[in-house]
Amino acid sequence: MDLSVRIGSLTLKNPLLAASGCFGYGVEYADVVDLSSLGGVVSKGLFLAEREGHPAPRIVETPAGMLNAIGLQGIGVRRFVDEKLPELRARKATVVVNVCGTTLDEYVEVSRILSDADGVDAIELNISCPNIKEGGIQFGCSLAGTFDVVSAVRNVTRLPVIPKLTPNVTDVASFARAAEDGGADAVSLVNTFLAMVIDVETRRPKISNIVGGLSGPAIRPIAVRMVYECRQTVKIPIIGMGGIADARDALEFMIAGATAVQVGTANFVDPFIWSKLLAGMREYMERHNIARIADLVGTIDTGHTVAERSGV
Amino acid sequence: MPIDVAADVIANQPLSADYNVLALAAPAIAAASAPGQFVMIKANAPALNDPLLRRPFSVFEILRGADGTRTGISILSKRIGVSTQLLYDARPGQRMACLGPLGRPFTIVEPPTEAWIVAGGVGLAPFATLAEHLRARGVHSTLFYGARRAADLFYLDFFRALDVELVLTTEDGSAGERGRVVAPLDRRLSSRSPTAPVMIYACGPERMLAATAQTAMKYGRPCQVSVERIMGCGLGGCYSCVVPMRGDDGGAHHVRSCLAGPVLAGDQILWD
Ligand SMILES: Cc1cc2nc3c(=O)[nH]c(=O)nc-3n(C[C@H](O)[C@H](O)[C@H](O)COP(=O)(O)O)c2cc1C
């Protein structure tokens, strides 16, 4: 059984990655999970400098989901390279670094530092964090901005460049196309959906940032639809995510067109989820006689289109 | 290394209309737990999405079999939301995912240092095991324990049996002194000889913790506080449970209370 998949020049041993911001810097989980058993670990978002993020409360639970506004607290790219990367390398993790920036130059500089470091396997460009005012989302919500960041980073690195798209736009697929045009090796989607929760007794928002990003099973059907739309539009691989909590969820994204998937919120619920996801995938492959998981990607059977069925 | 156990509910004892003590069969977690550590519990079946996340609870008691081996843990819970409602209603035989032990425990003092433990409401939770460990070392302990009313003061006999001196306060005056628990703490500190060492341990509502830490600072006494924050994972993955603290560089830093805490130095926290 072959679980490996390819994202540009990078081969992942299986399609399961830990999503950014949901797995610390990876090292926090080294006692719980064999990091080398994952397809990859995506780091928490990193800027050039350290950031303290928003005050608590930073999360609130919602039906089948959660809102977060962490505010991209992080140790900065240099400390990551010095303090975290050596351990990740020693643990033989495949490392994807989630890169943030307030300016185009910052994205380029952070990416350059990571390209010179030993042990980084790919760059995920976070142009989609809904929780900070400056940077990030301003690129991710403009087609030209998306193209510009991707092509600027493309010019300074040989690592696979994977922009992470926001679902908070009308037509995600057009952003996938802008990313592809800019030279992206793949796109990942979705980041969280901008949302809010209010305590009706106190009339206060339940998180300090007032608004936050919704993740977890609640968003899964929307995320699957977005992956499907992007699959129709671009040729580069898609890394899908949003509410994956078991193997069937992961397979659903792959059938919709994702070459690999990330798991975020479900890792909070069950940090031991990874071996269960892998076992579930293997069991499915056996039952469906699939030798290579890559062969499942995009195999959705839509039969007749709605238009055909309605005779239009 | 934390362990995840599908723990059987052994017993569920209601203490009042809001408080209960839930006993869980979790020998491996019980064996590894140190006072002040916590567990992450999912009150409903793992595959159910409402509630979705686990909740953090201090280990309350270490349960032992007839031969003294550790068989499980209990938690002290107060009904405030969906998860704690499920815990209040839980029945023996039910199973719950229980991950632990997690976090940094209390530093336990030695005689002649005395332990002055300050607990507010459900903040009593980490102190049953602490009191046992202090007693085993021969440390004299005093529990300053505050609650709304007399009926919300629990486990007094448990602490008495460990020779813990009790100083009780209630907001309505129905037991002990009327008012907040920090008042008698302050008086005792003011009359204690500065050369007689004391370690203060505190857990409870945020304002009580801040007042306790500030009172400790006023008298130059060390104070370990166990903070309670909304947590996503308990393992350092999500950065939800941060506490603003003074760093070595003098600046303010958000520290994850699941990894650096839940026990933190009271004088390093930036109370607002
Ligand atoms: C607490 C938290 C922190 C996150 N931090 C980041 C981040 O730093 N960078 C990023 O690109 N996405 C971040 N995300 C988004 C996730 O990587 C993922 O896109 C989203 O949560 C959807 O997946 P899920 O439903 O499996 O969690 C964060 C999500 C959560 C819940």
Q: Determine whether the interchain pair B237/A265 forms a contact, defined as Cβ–Cβ distance below 8 Å.
A: no
Q: Give pLDDT, residue A306.
A: 57
What distance lies between CA B191 and its chain's CA centroid?
A: 27
Tens digit of pLDDT for each residue in B31-56? 999 999 999 999 999 889 999 999 99
User: Could you tell me the residue ranges of all domains in chain A?
Assistant: 5-309
One domain for residues B120 and B91: no
Which structural domain, as residue segments, surrounds residue B140?
114-268
Question: Which chain A residues contact residue B252 at CB under 8 A?
Answer: 52
Question: Which residue has the CA at smallest separation from atom 1 of ligand 1?
Answer: B238
Q: Could you give the number of structural domains in chain B?
A: 2
Interval between CA B80 and ligand 1 midpoint (Å): 28
Q: Which residues contact B17 (CB under 8 A, 6 or more apart)?
A: B79
CA distance A130 to B12: 42
For ligand 1, which residues put their CB under 6 angstroms from it? A 19-22, 44-45, 68, 70, 72, 98, 126, 129, 164, 191-192, 215-216, 219, 241-244, 263-266; B 232, 238
Phi, psi of A65 (to 5 degrees): -170, -170
Question: Which chain B residues contact residue A32 at CB under 8 A?
Answer: 1-2, 235
**What is chain B's percent helix, strand, coil content, to nearest 5?**
20, 35, 40
Q: Name beta bridge partners: B147.
A: B170
Is B203 in a helix, a strand, or coil?
Answer: strand
pLDDT band at B69 (very low <50, low <70, confident <90, very high): very high
Is B160 in a helix, a strand, or coil?
Answer: helix
One domain for residues B46 and B175: no
Average model confidence (pLDDT) for chain B? 96
Q: Give pLDDT, residue A139.
A: 83
312 residues of chain A, pLDDT tens digit each: 999 999 999 999 999 999 999 999 999 999 999 999 999 999 999 999 999 999 999 999 999 999 999 999 999 999 999 999 999 999 999 999 999 999 999 999 999 999 999 999 999 999 987 666 566 677 888 999 999 999 999 999 999 999 999 999 999 999 999 999 999 999 999 999 999 999 999 999 999 999 999 999 999 999 999 999 999 999 999 999 999 999 999 999 999 999 999 999 999 999 999 999 999 999 999 999 999 999 999 999 998 665 665 555
Q: Which residues contact A90 (CB under 8 A, 6 or more apart)?
A: none
Q: Quick check: is B15 in a domain?
A: yes
Please identify which of the residues A22, A100, A129, A230 carries the catalytic annotation: A129
Selection from B219, B217, B238, B218 nearest residue B229 by Cα: B238
pLDDT band at B249 (very low <50, low <70, confident <90, very high): confident
Q: Give pLDDT, residue A212.
A: 95
Q: Determine whether the interchain pair B52/A217 forms a contact, defined as Cβ–Cβ distance below 8 Å.
A: yes
Q: Quick check: is B109 in a domain?
A: no
Residue at a domain's end among B38, B68, B102: B102
CA distance B84 to B81: 6
* Among the four given CATH numbers 3.40.50.1980, 3.40.50.620, 3.30.565.10, 3.20.20.70, the one describing domain A5-309: 3.20.20.70
Q: Determine whether the interchain pair A28/B236 forms a contact, defined as Cβ–Cβ distance below 8 Å.
A: yes
More confident residue, A307 or B270: B270
ipTM of this model? Answer: 0.93
CA distance A221 to A112: 36
- Residue B153, CA atoms < 13 Å, CB-side half-sphere: 24
Q: Quick check: is B218 in a domain?
A: yes
One domain for residues B130 and B98: no
Tens digit of pLDDT for each residue in B112-122? 999 999 999 99
Ligand 1 closest atom vs CA B238: 1
Tens digit of pLDDT for each residue in B196-247? 999 999 999 999 999 999 999 999 999 999 999 999 999 999 999 999 999 8
